[in-house]
Structure formats: structure tokens, C-alpha cells
Structure 1
């Protein structure tokens, strides 16, 4: 935990991350249900990709085939277009990441009086977002559980899962860099108890 013991005039910022299929969204929902403000980076991307979204014009210049007639971005077409093309992927990230960070800053400003806020960021370590957090929570599960969850999703297959995992930091490394972990394979009740304990700990450690 980088700065939970220092005097602060802002919330404790908890970063939440985890590889695909680890239960990150369900865990974020537990925090939200307990009144913790949550900023969902993936939801921010969806908004940026929607018709009229800020990312559409720039992505249209980079990957014209991924933008629909109404100006919205087809995420599947975009994923196919950048898969295996590091230069194009880097150019896409240079468009999207600053826009998402801008929304994150606005979120923090809107919740400056909260004792604790959660930044739900799928590629937290991969994008260096841990530098903006006071502590990191990684949700995890055994590989066989992760695989079964992901392959049960519509449109997913082993090749698509392998491609996604190839651009994500391995779960083992995420866990090694985390301040806290929750194993979501142990059940919903276990995860809820862990969330409750973590909220209590972080808000207790926050001065004021």
C-alpha cells in the first residue's frame, strides 16, 4: 500500500483488477452495493465507443472498418483489426487510454469527499494505472475455473481466450504485485466477507 498512512484530503483509492473470467465485475458490484463509489474503466470505454462517443472519429481514422454508419465502434471488429498488429494496438491505446484517464480524474473529483473509492481497471498493471492507486486488489481463481467461466460466454472459444490472455499480465504476477487478493472460486459469501473486511480496514486506516 503506497500511501494509506500519509495525511490525505482525498479518498483512499483502491485499484481493482484481475484477468478475464476472475470475477472482477461481480466483486466491483459488491463494493458498489456497500456504498463505495466505483469507476468502471470498461464501461467508460463502452461510452467512448458508443454513437457520438469521443473515441469514434479517431478510431475511424485508424481502423475505418471498425466504425459503424452511426459512428459507434464495433468492438469485435476492432479487436480483430488490432490482434497481432502491435503498432496498430499501440496507436489505439494512445487514443483510448488518455480519454479513460480523463473520465477517471473527473470521477475522483466528483467523489472527493468519499472515504474510499474503487477504480475497476482490467489492464491496471499493463497501463501503469497502479501509480494512481493507494492499494491494489486482485481477484483470482484457479486456471480451470477461469477457463470454464470464459468458455461459457457467448462467442468465446479457446483461441479467443488465448489471444486475450496473451496481452494480459499472468495471474501469478498480478497476485505478486497486489496488496490484497480475493479468490472468487471460494464462493459468493466468502468474497462478500473479504470485501467487507477490506472496506473496514481501508476506511479505518484513512485519517479523518
Structure 2
């Protein structure tokens, strides 16, 4: 059980069974360390056959500018999960890191599912083809349970319930979604050049040909690489199987004294030791490593999707005596008549964003008209956010200073995770609901068409991306009474009944 600062125990996902954790540790660290590392490399290479993935990787520039670091970062985090297990402190730290990194990018759930499926499918296939023995049924099931558990902790939805379903999904993607694209080859070429960089130049072309020899034709064609000669694959298969059997025979004579995970060996990027804080795209490291609020005051960052129920939860917390600071209120104040924000908006958009005249004084901003503009144009939305966010942050700073002696404070911030304001909070609460509920509530509340409502929802991260980054998830799919009970449980007994004094620290 994880304990929140207020003293409430929050139940995590059901822990992974110890048998699966131990089996995966043994397979990756002692029985097949070299083979499973190669299989996971192949799984990573195959993800470049999806233009949705390769285009994102190309856009970030990480594989072109820092392919070795990107490769080592991935290898180290995967190895640490297998080495320690996803429910260990080290494993949970890796998953939090992965969630925070992935949260900065728009990644489709099907892409997450395919990557996850490759971590199961490729070791099974590799060892069937090239290992001194294939994985037995129990080992395959352990591998499936391990990575499915990791996927659940990462907030991936629609996870297959069985190994057979996962392998079928993997096969479906490879036969229907793999397609050639310029970004596929761009990222794959950069990865191949990195893998061959330490070899003499004269050996790189034949080594590249050998690598292509283990790739099936759909992969090489999707990457824009030439297909290896037909005779090469059987010869490579024989060589790899012979190597595996000889190594196994040697290890029977001289068993390994310790495990051989990728994270236990020196890497070109970090040398003999690395820290988790070093892993991730360099442009994001400062934000990724920004610590949460660690002061005496309990600061609850309340977030969620638009129309998910944040205001309702905020009112429930307010009735329990907690001060509630609302970013939406500060954003409205930032555009109040006569404010510098209102003048800037009027200067950019003109009369079309002004409300009808209501007597003397400066005209107010018509927020509905402004919303139609910015939610239909990403550049205009970015301009408005760059105008308003610093003002909102100044308001939070001023109010937090005024409330410095309060034992607990609630910060309602719709874009808390998107803009990286976790540093203001000691914990993050997410108000969750179904997308259909969210859509209907938004249309009803704001009088929007379905297209307008979907445009506003698309301007924020989807809720499944936020779930994995929250400390507490409040399910707002049920009744008000059920939601109130969840709020009370998350807040803890120290909060007292509604209307009581603020909770003691």
C-alpha cells in the first residue's frame, strides 16, 4: 500500500505474482541474457515500421542527434524492470519515469500496445529460432503477465487478457499496419549507424547485411532496406543456434556467478554507473527532474479532463475546510475588462472577441467567441496560453504565500500535467470519467456541438495518459455519494467531516 501525505493508504494495482517476477528475472539475467537482449533490440527496431512511431521519433530528433543515448536509455529502463521487478521501489521509479517522459508526447494507445506486445512476442520467437531451447509454457505465461502488469501501471488501456490475444495483436499490427515511410528509414538508418559505429568502416557494410538477414521481408520493406539473400537467413539461423548451444554447454560447466542484465554492464553513454535522473530526452530533463513540493504544507494538485468533474471535487474539498485555488478563476481574472490580458487579446483578435456593450466602461471579452477561435487553431491557442499561464502562476504564488500557514491547500489546475506544474504540489489527484460522459457533460454545460466539444477535449491530454501520472484517481462515473466517499478516503481521517476545521498537518 502507498501512503499519501495525509495518511490515507491508497491501494495500487494488484501486485505481480512472485513466480512471474522471479522467472523473468532468471530468464533475462541468467538463462538467456544475450538472446533476450537481442530479441528486445529486434522488438525496438520493428517499432520503426509504424509511421506513427517513427514520425514522432524523427520529430523529437533523439535518434538522429543522440541515437546512442536513446538506445541506452531504453535498454537500461527495460533491464531495470526485469532486474528488480515492476512492483519494487526501483521498478516503480522506472515506470514513473517512463510515464512522465511519454506524457509529453501524443502517443496512440495502439502504439503502446504494439511496443508492449513486442517485449513478449520477440523473445518467444527469437528463442524458438535461435535459442538452445524455446521458452516453455510457464515461461511464456510469466513473460506475458510481467509485461501486461507493466502496461497496466503505465495506464495502457484495452490490454489483451491472454497471451494468445497479445500475440494475435502483435501479428495483426505487423501484417496490417506496417508500411513504408521516409521517417521509418530515417530512424532505422540512424540506429543502424549507431550500432555499427565501433566497428572498422570496412566491416560495416557486411555487418549491416548480416543484421538484415535476421529480419523478415515485411520489416526490411517497411524500413526501406534491401532484402537479404535467401541463403543468408538459414546460415545465420544455424550460426546463432550453434552459438547458443555452445554457450549453454560452457555455462553448465562454469555457471554464472551473477546476473548479466544490460543495466549491470558499462554503457557507452554513462560508463559504469548511471542514475535514473539522467535518462530521458535532454530537452525534458530539467522538467522531468523537477521535484514535487516537499514543504510541511500538504498541497493537493487537482486535475482532470475538461468537464470530468474537477469543480465538483473542488467544492467537496472546500466544504471540508480546505482552501481551494482555481486556475480557471485566475484565467478569467486575467481577461477581466481593463486588464493587460484583455487588452492583448483585443489587440490580437479585434472586435470579434468582445461581448455586447453592457453600459459604461470597457467591453468584456466574449470567452465563448475566443474559445471558438483558439480551439480551432493550435497556434492561436498557444499564443493565448503563453499570455495567460504566467499570470495564473503569479496568482498561485501570491495565494500560496498568503496561505503559507494553512495545513493543506487544493490547487485546481486543468493543465497541471501538460505544463509540468507538479512542482507546486505534494500529490496529484485526477478526476476520471468515461470519454462519452465527458463529451456529453461538456456539450450540455457549454452548449457546444459535438465537433466543438471534441476540439476542446483534444486540446488536453486524454485521461488515460493522465491516469498513470496521478497519485490518486477519483472515479466520477457513478453517483455524487460515491464520489464524496472517494474524496473522503483520499483526504484521510484527519480531514474530519464536511464543514469541520481544516485538517491538521
TM-score by length of 2: 0.38
The 5 A counterparts of 1:75-94 are 75-94=367-386
Alignment partners' CA distance in 1, 2:292 and 2:421: 15
Count of aligned pairs between the two proteins: 203
User: Hey, what does 2:475 align to over in structure 1?
Assistant: 183
2:304 matches 1:18: yes
Q: Secondary structure at the match of 2:461?
A: coil
Residue 450 (structure 2) pairs with residue 158 (structure 1) = yes
Q: Write the distance in 1 (CA, Å) between the matches of 2:394 and 2:349.
A: 23
Alignment partner of 1:63: what SS?
helix
Say if 2:407 and 2:504, in contact at 8 Å, map to a contact too.
no
Q: Which moved more, 1:119-128 or 1:142-151?
A: 142-151
Partner of 2:324: 38
Equivalent pair of 2:494/2:504 in contact (CA under 8 Å): no
> Partners in 2 of 1:23 and 1:190 — Cα distance?
13
Secondary structure (helix, strand or coil) at the match of 1:46 reads helix
Question: Residues of 2 paired with 1:56 and 1:14: CA distance?
Answer: 30
Measure, in 1, the Cα distance between the counterparts of 2:463 and 2:494.
24
Question: Cα–Cα, structure 1 residues 123 and 62, in superposed 2: closer, same or farther, change >3 Å?
Answer: same
Q: Is the 8 A contact 1:50 1:71 kept in 2?
A: no
Sort the Cα spacing of 1:144 and 1:54 in 2 relative to 1 into closer, same or farther, 3 A: same
Superposition map of 1:163-178 within 5 A: 163-178=455-470
The 8 Å contact of residues 17 and 137 in structure 1, kept in 2 or not, is answered as yes
Instruction: Pick closer, same or farther for the CA change 1:61–1:175 going to 2, 3 Å.
Output: same
Q: How far 1:102 moved relative to its partner?
A: 0.6
The equivalent position to 1:62 in structure 2, one of 344, 348, 358, is 348
Provide the rounded CA distance (Å) in 2 between the counterparts of 1:154 and 1:164: 11
Deviates more, 1:25-34 or 1:53-62: 53-62
Aligned equivalents of 1:207 and 1:27: distance in 2?
20
Matches within 5 A, 1:95-174: 95-174=387-466
Alignment gaps of 5+ in structure 2: 5-290, 496-502
More moved, 113-122 vs 64-73: 64-73
Could you say which structure has the higher helix fraction?
2
**Structure with bigger gyration radius:** 2
1:74 lines up with 2:366 in the alignment: yes
SS at match of 1:186: coil
Q: Distance in 2 between matches of 1:18 and 1:179?
A: 13
Shift of 1:67: 3.6
SS of corresponding position for 1:182: strand
Unaligned runs of 5+ in 1: none
Question: Which of the two has greater strand per residue?
Answer: 1
Q: Distance in 1 between matches of 2:336 and 2:375?
A: 21
SS in structure 1 opposite 2:445?
Answer: coil
Shift of 1:207: 9.3
Q: Give the equivalent residue in structure 1 for 2:233.
A: none
**Structure 1 residue matching 2:492: 3-state secondary structure:** helix
Cα gap change, 1:135 to 1:202, in 2 (>3 Å): farther
Contact 2:292 2:423 in 1 (8 A): no
Structure 1, residues 53-107: CA drift from partner, whole Å, max 9, x if none? 3411121222223245624211122122223433322221111000011111111
Higher relative contact order (CA 8 A, sep 6+): 1
Deviation at 1:169, TM superposition (A): 0.2
TM-score (norm 1): 0.87
Partner of 2:77: none
